[in-house]
Amino acid sequence: MFTLKKTPGRDFVVLNLTDTHLTDEEWANGHKNRLILERTVDELVRKGSPELITVSGDISFADHPNAERAYEKFASLLESYRIPWAFVWGNHDNQAGAEVAGRHADIMLSHEHCLFEKGDPALGMGNYVIGVEEEGRLVYALYMMDSHDRFDFTDSDGSVRKGWGHLLPPQLDWLRGESERLGGVRSALIMHIPFYTYRDAFEAAWNHDFDPMKVSPAESLDPKYWNEGYRDSRGVKYEGVGSYPVDLGEFDAVNGIGSVEITLVGHEHINDYEISYRGMRLAYSLKTGAGCYWNQALNGGTLLRITDDGGKLENIFVNVDDIVG
């Protein structure tokens, strides 16, 4: 387990980036998507003053030409800030298989400030813990977990298709064991693909008198858009939830552990909602940069402030209108 130090009386700040999706071609000097990403990360680091940078997956496309160079360039960008940084793989980072993902992980690990453990290969790649200590006492834990790429799903007619990835039962056992080992300290789970329960949470929380496609991030702070009991929610849902097609009980298992207060994911590029559901904060991180598809108004990153009272989330939006033109 990696451990980082929290200064007494001050929040420990984690900056989460997600779904950067830059190919080697886009990393070329002067490419608009590279300029957008570099501007975005620069502003996030300047405004957030993080002590740790995390990335919740889809850094690039593992099966694209010269993918290793794209991972190296992204790692070099984060390394330039001389701040500890850590990541989990997304489905696109996993899409070329475990051997390729392992080689790309080695590229990342060659950098001094990278925190990453491959972990037990039976669980995927990159299930590990980052602890935050204050005066020698563990006060918070970040569980970094691999939600894989895709798994087979059998439809009601018996046909088999691919569904988005999910946490495996042995991973949930690992998480439960780590929580027990750490004394049930408050924690956040960072992974790429959301639980199926993200669908249920939005359905329960959203006031369906309003069309969610017509509400801006700023407008979503108005309690009128949220049902009673969910008035502390915020954010928008401009696309579906890309989870495994059925509920496999991941959320129930994680929530039942009792120590995980926040789950932070990526995967969807134009959702950024945050909802307290059955005692856990379910949140999307803001997408970082223009790689793949994006909504320019939802560009940025998400801060996790570890306070004396637990974790608090905050989005930082970054305006890149002058680059986009």
What spatial distance separates the first Cα and last Cα of the chain, rounded to whole Å? 45
Crossing angle of helices 169-181/250-257, nearest 10°?
Answer: 10
Name all domains of the chain by residue range, CATH numbers in brackets. Answer: 2-324 (3.60.21.10)
Q: Are 13 and 50 in contact (CB under 8 A)?
A: yes
Q: Does the CA dihedral 172-176-179-185 come out positive or negative?
A: positive
At 17-69, the pLDDT tens digits run 999 999 999 999 999 999 999 999 999 999 999 999 999 999 999 999 999 99
Where are the extended beta strands (E) located within 33-179?
52-56, 85-88, 114-115, 128-134, 137-144, 150-154, 160-164
pLDDT on residue 156: 86
149, 143 contact by CB (below 8 A): no
Closest CA to 1 of 130, 105, 126: 130
Rg (CA), the chain: 19
Q: Quick check: 86 pLDDT over 90?
A: yes
Q: What value does the mean pLDDT of the chain take? A: 97
Distance (Å, whole) CA 47 – CA 18: 17
| Mean predicted confidence (pLDDT) in 9-23 | 98
